[in-house]
Structure 1
Amino acid sequence: MRKADKEKMRANLLRAISHDLRTPLTSIIGTSATYLESSFLSEEERTVLLQHIYDDSTWLLHMVENLLSVTRIQDTSTKVKKTEELIEEVISEAISRFKKRQPDAKLEVKIPDELLIVPMDALLIEQVIINLLENAWVHSHTSSAIALAITHDQETVTFHIRDYGVGIPPERIPTIFDGATASYSKSIDGHKGMGIGLSICKTIIDAHKGTINAKNCQPGAEFIFTLPKEDYHEC
């Protein structure tokens, strides 16, 4: 990755962090203070406050995991350590981790019958899949199932993650992976912006020499990323 690209990525991440981490921290502090200082609250109201603290804490953990993913790439000069991985196993692990965060999420998964083995850093690619699934579930504003499908040709394996919700404002598509803090829904969901998540998806896929794109469908939106089947080393 060129020095200018690294500096741009760093600036985008810092901008996203200022929103995506500070906002839930502020919420946790405020909610905790309310809980501690309000002896008149009913048990039900206290439970609601604790749920808010739990939700914000879980989101912070997700963001920290994303930041650690980028640190792993930067520490190895963006040359990820790849091993041959079975696509089906990577997807299964990513879905398992995603469902722990979003137990109510509905998924429809389509994987080719043949075995697909691709060189990758499995933990990083699982992070990409989780980010995109969570993005689709949280920001599509629909209860319809998310479609996760795998296609492939001689050179690449392609991951398709589609929702059937509100879609992406057209003006957001060109910069959606640049670390902007707004979610892609028109009604921005406060602290649950995907600025860090989508920027990190692109960083990880770029480090794997793949591609990542987003587009609108009728209805909903689709995120597509590719991984090369062969591990091409730079000279």
Structure 2
Amino acid sequence: VSPLKSRLASDDAGQPVDDTWTSHMAWLGRGDGKARYDATRLEGVDAIVSCVDSLADRRAIDELSCRTRCALLDAGCDGDAVSCHVAVPHRTMPWSHGPRDAPEWEPPSCVLGNFPHAWVHAARWAKDLFVDLFVEAPRGVNAYLRDSTYAEENLDASSSSRDLGSRLRDLRRMHAGLVRERPYEYSHCVRWAAARFREYFTLLPSAILKNFPPAQTR
């Protein structure tokens, strides 16, 4: 396990310069799972430079800053985007009341399905496909096997409020998971994986290129 970010930052700061003092603050666990830091380490400290990893730790540091009335410099990064929030007791708002990050951008579904042209499109497409293949499909099959009322509540047209397309998709999943593609041994899993690879990385791209030739889309 690599060292904590806060430990590395404290070590990189080096020896105290003038009245500047650096120290790594150890995280103390609690039964409720919330992060807590030792406030006694802040005696005589004027400011906290926060460089922790998780949102829970950032909230704990913010709470500690407010409780001990220490100024807080909170720095964060997400890819190539960086942020820095300065909180001074009785002068500025604390980190918890500062500006929040903008909502995550969602690419249109038509772009993901037909014209992915950036790495973020490919990443989102892969994530959605993983959830569909390895989360939603097995969950639906297991629910059908364990719950005797699942079919009536979710698949029956007379009692289910779901639209026809959703019910047909679930029925195909049930048939594939229980009959058509049900694996009984390791070789069946390999065959299923090879078929999915061919479907998503050979057949679908070929169909897109056939429907939208590059010469006609420039």
Name the TM-score, length of structure 2 as normaliser: 0.25
RCO higher in 1 or 2 (8 Å CA, sep ≥ 6)? 1
**Bigger strand fraction:** 1
Name the TM-score, length of structure 1 as normaliser: 0.23
Please identify the structure whose Cα radius of gyration is greater: 2
